[in-house]
Chain A
Amino acid sequence: VRDRHAGRQTHYSARRRALAPLVDWTSKMAGFWPNRFDRLENLLKRMDQ
């Protein structure tokens, strides 16, 4: 029972490490898009029609 528990812990840690780049990337994109929307608004204002 103890070995199985330790096995699950190892698996969980490995998954968290594998997902760390995804977490970092998501944080970056959460800042990226509002900034891009500001630029889009600026463009829309400048567009004639």
Chain B
Amino acid sequence: MSTPETLSVVVERELPYPPAKLWRALTQPQLIAEWLMNNDFEPTVGHRFNFRAEPQPGWNGIIDCEVLVVEPNKSLSYTWNSGEADLAIKSVVTLSLTPTGAGTLLRMEQTGFRPDQKQNYQGAKYGWQHFFGKLEQVLARAD
């Protein structure tokens, strides 16, 4: 029996702005393009969209996504799939907003796995917290 293999990146940062302002920057396509990448995002569950970056050797620069969770001013999640064949990686990005005294704590968690592990994709799609067996966290502190 194979064990699900995933790796996670977690980045947290406290920002001196209210959650609603962060939410706009996270969900309006022209604002997203300013800090993340060109996109055709819409804040609707099930919406399929792309991020587009500069192509590089071995990568066409396109990231395929589908919106999973939209909880205004609280939580945003979408799949993030890139690469092809041997280099293909599937992942789920979850952005969480928590109000603090000084503004908002923004948390980004991206959990990646290889596409041939079908059970992982199902798990990530419906709530990664409950499905992953072995989970290694790479915690990248912003400051």
Contacts and interface: CB of A to CB of B under 8 A. Distances in A.
Interface of A: 15, 18-19, 21-23, 25-27, 29-31, 33-34, 36-37, 39-44, 47, 49
B45 interface: no
Contact of A26 (B15, B22, B86, B138): B138
Main DSSP-derived SS at the A contact region: helix
A43 to B, nearest CB: 5
A44 B15 contact: yes
Interface residues on B, range: 20 to 34
Given A40-B35, A44-B15, A22 B25 contact: no
A44 B17 contact: yes
B87 A34 contact: no
B54 interface: no
Given A19-B5, A26-B7, A43-B31, A37 B142 contact: yes
A37 B95 CA distance: 12
Given A33-B9, A44-B21, A26 B108 contact: no
B21 A33 contact: no
A25 B9 CA distance: 10
Interface in B83-104: 83, 86-89, 91
A23 B140 CA distance: 15
